[in-house]
Structure 1
Amino acid sequence: MELRQLLHFLAIAEERHFTRAAAKLHLSQPSLSASIRSLEKELHSTLLIRNSRRVELTEAGRALLPAARRALSAVEEGQAAVDAVQGVLRGSLTIGCIQFLGVVDLPSLLVEYHHRYPGITISVIHDSVDSLMESIGTGELDLAIVDRPLDPRTAHMQALGSETLVLAVASDDPLAKQRKVSLEQLQSRDFVEFRADSSLRVRLDAVYAAEGLQRRICCEIDDIAELVKLVSHGLGIALVPPGPLEDVAGVVGVEIEPAIARDLVLATPADRPESPSAKAFLQLLSSQGNDIYRPNP
């Protein structure tokens, strides 16, 4: 089994299409097909099934996928480690994060990181907390910035900070004139909610259950910016971090009682040391006032 074969297999697994994978790898499609056939022959297993529209992984292909990712990641880490000894950082950094971070100014961090390490290619992936944590475990992500609740078994956790949720209401809503409202007051109102698999939604469901209250959900959406716009147009109200309300016309944030905290954490792999590119990012994050850099042994 050769590394180039694993690279070819991963490209197809990600693209789910031979033609797109071949273009990504700058190979001819016949050459790519021959490489996969050779890999399958060596493993005595069919890894991929083609149909008229896309490529699917067989059970053997799904089993190979995480190992192939780890193998290629190890090669990249080895090259990056040698570069680091020579005073040159190259390679890649893949960060996963939820849609709105609040207490962490990720754009500013990435700009500074790029200025310091222009040889590193940065990728930022937005997804649900569960998906990001799974990607930490499989090696697809170097680190992730997420909010609680989450499954801590696959990663090390470091607290980044906390913020208090506010009630987002349209500016012409009678609630907008109140300094503070209680959750109990809101049981007759329609709520616009973030996606059901989000940690924010799980957190709110837990708070309502603990208070013995219910809320009426009229709309679910997976983009927090669009959620705030819907609130501004009067579709409903929402419990959100305060940041997304900034500079949005027609919506205001009102204090909630009891207060609901949103905790942001940094997740790094529990089963392997950070790559040089990830260590450099964590050191930069610490230098910006977040005392979280603790290199894995």
Structure 2
Amino acid sequence: MLDRTLLRYFLAVVDRGNFSRAAANCRVSQPTLSIGIAKLERMLGETLFIRNSRRVELTAAGVRLSAQARRIEAAFLEAETAAPAEAPKKLIRLGLLSTLPSSWVERALAALRDSALSERLEIVEGRQSDLPALLGRGRVDAAIGVVDGAARDPLFVEDYGLAMPLSHPLAHRPEVAPEEVAAETMIVRRHCEALAETSRYFTARGVRPFMAARTTHDDRALAYVRAGLGVTVLPRGFQGEGVAVATLTGWGLTRRIGLMIEPDSRARLAGAETLQLFSDSLKASAAR
């Protein structure tokens, strides 16, 4: 079956006279258009253009295809015009901090599903270091991640603590000293935005534990902890997912989670119900 996109590339070359102007008209790169034309020629088993340095000319096979392609494109346009018009849904492209608890994200998405909002949501996950770049390049309209202390109205603020399996002897303690876990095996969350601060905290107190595993996935880190492979430092929000989280003595680090909006998207996102409901759901989960 012929691909409509390839036929449009072909007609653009016919109408524009060369590949570079045709590519600009189709809003693709010239290599992309050239690959498409070559694919079309392979599918048909015939050469469609005679190429030279100044312009391209149709072969006999190209002339035949030109008439057919125009009829096909006209039929497509007629069908599109006859189809009932439907207002396009507003697309919300949201950058999402990868270290937010999966259960919170699931709850927020369930709230969106139950509300049956007309907007569409596209989620782009990333580490904290990735989110500013995603916003700056316009890849996302907004992002939910760690904001600095000057940011107004964060969604929530939470501290970090030591995550242990519920069977651990210290699991019932609200606070533990680093010396008490000096002999513990540790799990390293390599994607954690507080990894450097965590390392400095333990090193300054002479705690250099054995590292049993290094992971970039929180669900895997939780599985390791629940299985008794080791303990790890996690944001407080992961408490209750089969692990106990105790405050570390002298460890006052917190993270402020807030909403960041790309400046050029502010007007378009004004009144975006999807963004508001998603943010409110995360905030409610943090308050539980």
Asked if TM exceeds 0.5, the reply is yes
Partner of 1:182: 177
- Note if 1:255 corresponds to 2:280: no
CA apart distance, 1:27: 4.4
Q: How many residues align?
A: 221
For 1:199, give the aligned amino acid: E
5 Å-filtered alignment, 1:253-292, equals: 253-259=245-251, 260-276=253-269, 279-284=272-277
* Contact 2:157–2:256 (Cα < 8 Å) also in 1: yes
Instruction: Indicate the SS of the match to 2:257.
Output: strand
Partner of 2:224: 230
CA apart distance, 1:43: 9.3
- Note if 1:30 corresponds to 2:22: no
- Against the structure 1 CA distance between its residues 143 and 274, is the aligned structure 2 distance closer, same or farther, given a 3 Å change threshold? farther
Instruction: Indicate the SS of the match to 1:252.
Output: strand
5 Å-filtered alignment, 1:107-186, equals: 107-113=106-112, 118-147=117-146, 159-176=154-171, 178-186=173-181
What CA distance in whole angstroms lies between the structure 1 residues aligned with 2:163 and 2:28?
A: 58
- Against the structure 1 CA distance between its residues 141 and 278, is the aligned structure 2 distance closer, same or farther, given a 3 Å change threshold? farther
For 1:92, give the aligned amino acid: L
Partner of 1:39: 23
Task: List runs of 5+ in structure 1 lacking aligned partners.
Answer: 1-22, 51-87, 291-297
Instruction: Indicate the SS of the match to 2:131.
Output: helix
TM-score (norm 2): 0.59
* Contact 2:163–2:233 (Cα < 8 Å) also in 1: yes
CA apart distance, 1:115: 5.5
For 1:97, give the aligned amino acid: L
* Contact 1:169–1:176 (Cα < 8 Å) also in 2: yes
* Contact 1:142–1:274 (Cα < 8 Å) also in 2: no
- Against the structure 1 CA distance between its residues 239 and 273, is the aligned structure 2 distance closer, same or farther, given a 3 Å change threshold? same
CA apart distance, 1:234: 2.0
What CA distance in whole angstroms lies between the structure 2 residues aligned with 1:44 and 1:253?
A: 52
TM-score (norm 1): 0.57
* Contact 1:157–1:266 (Cα < 8 Å) also in 2: no
Task: List runs of 5+ in structure 2 lacking aligned partners.
Answer: 14-18, 36-86, 284-288
What CA distance in whole angstroms lies between the structure 1 residues aligned with 2:203 and 2:271?
A: 39
What CA distance in whole angstroms lies between the structure 2 residues aligned with 1:174 and 1:111?
A: 36
Q: Output one character per residue of 1:168-209: Cα deviation in whole Å (capped at 9) or x when no partner.
A: 1233433335442122433443211212x4413244245456
* Contact 2:119–2:274 (Cα < 8 Å) also in 1: no
What CA distance in whole angstroms lies between the structure 2 residues aligned with 1:238 and 1:30?
A: 53
What CA distance in whole angstroms lies between the structure 2 residues aligned with 1:202 and 1:121?
A: 37
- Against the structure 1 CA distance between its residues 238 and 44, is the aligned structure 2 distance closer, same or farther, given a 3 Å change threshold? closer
Instruction: Indicate the SS of the match to 2:171.
Output: helix
What CA distance in whole angstroms lies between the structure 2 residues aligned with 1:217 and 1:162?
A: 28
- Note if 1:218 corresponds to 2:217: no
What CA distance in whole angstroms lies between the structure 1 residues aligned with 2:116 and 2:141?
A: 16
What CA distance in whole angstroms lies between the structure 1 residues aligned with 2:127 and 2:145?
A: 9
What CA distance in whole angstroms lies between the structure 1 residues aligned with 2:126 and 2:262?
A: 17
Q: RMSD between aligned alpha carbons?
A: 4.2
